[in-house]
Structures are given as structure tokens and as C-alpha cells.
Amino acid sequence: MPNWGGGAKCGACEKTVYHAEEIQCNGRSFHKTCFLCMACRKALDSTTVAAHESEIYCKTCYGRKYGPKGVGFGQGAGCLSTDTGDHLGLNLQQGSPKSARPSTPTNPSKFAKKIVDVDKCPRCGKSVYAAEKIMGGGKPWHKTCFRCAICGKSLESTNVTDKDGELYCKVCYAKNFGPKGIGFGGLTQVEKKECE
């Protein structure tokens, strides 16, 4: 009997996947927004996906979890990879003398979002991820928050100055914190006479 008014169920969220938003992998259907690596939550496509039974990973996380271990594997010839994958929630200590973490996840959903320590933007207080990070004054900022605190002008590394943890363009910094007096960006003598 045909499936009227719906489609297959998503392998991640179990909701109906309609044809226009469907991605198939290993005979299972996914929403485009649910087609993410189970470990690092990166968006996947047909060139970056690696499937293991009912789980989907990016090729990097798949290699860390299921690839060969030891000297010379994973990082190029003759290299020793010390990356254990702990920051991605991968338990790779197979056969290791260290005690392994319990195999039962605290969240029953394998596709649940992993919590990762992420830098916070000083301006808005929200998490700053690598794709949107700009460093200024020794702190990470969103591209949209990387603006002058006074005039709101978008800043670049060539015109940014910082004072007390806040960012300013060079013009606003000079006007508000630079030297005062004639010839230092303040009022000229003509302007001073007009003000009197």
C-alpha cells in the first residue's frame, strides 16, 4: 500500500522526510539538516560521509574511531597520533591500561548534540565557533560583533585598537582616548573661536 502524504522516517530525528529534503545513506533517509557527523556534528555530504552500521561520521571521526591505531596511522607516514578523540566524545582507549569510560551514553539518542567547551564573545556573550571567530585584543569575537564600540564601524586587523577589553576604530580611539589639544584631533583654533 502506498505511503500517502509522507515519506520515509529520518534516521536521526525519526520524523518524516519529504522528497525535496531527503538525503539517502546506506538505505536510510535523512533530512539535510540532520545529516551530521555523530561525533563532531559537522554537516556531511556524499564525499565526506563514512557509515558504520546505523551510525554516520565524517571521515576524520570515522578514522579516529574505527581506523587502524598506532605509530604511522592516521596522520601520515612515520607520525604518532596522540589524538584520543576525547574532545569529540569518542572512546578510543581499546586495549589501553587506562580505565575506559562507561559504554552507556548519558543521553539515549546517539544523534544528540555534543557539548563542547567553546569560547564566548565578549560583546554578546554567545559561543564563538571556529568558522566565525576573529581574534582581537587577545579575545575571540564573532564577525558581526567585531565592530567599534562607539561608531559601530566594522573593524579589520589594520584599523582596530582595544582598551579595557573593548574594541574601537582608530578614529574613535584617538578622539576619546588620545592626546587632547590643538593639533591632536580635537577642535581647531577656528572651531574653538566659533564655539565661544
pLDDT score, position 19: 80
150 pLDDT band (50/70/90 cuts)? very high
Report, at the CATH architecture level, how domain 133-177 is classified.
Answer: Ribbon (2.10)
The Cα 37–Cα 90 span in angstroms is 12
Grid coordinates in use for 120?
564566548
**164, amino acid identity:** D
CA within 13 Å, CB half, 147: 10
- Give CATH 2.10.110.10 domain extents, the chain: 22-66, 133-177
151 pLDDT band (50/70/90 cuts)? very high
Report, at the CATH architecture level, how domain 22-66 is classified.
Answer: Ribbon (2.10)
- Contact present, 169 and 153 (Cβ < 8 Å): yes
Which pLDDT tens digit goes with each residue over 31-54?
Answer: 888 989 988 988 888 888 888 888
pLDDT score, position 177: 85
Does 105 or 139 have the greater pLDDT score? 139
Judge whether residue 106 has pLDDT over 70.
no
Mean pLDDT of 64-71: 72
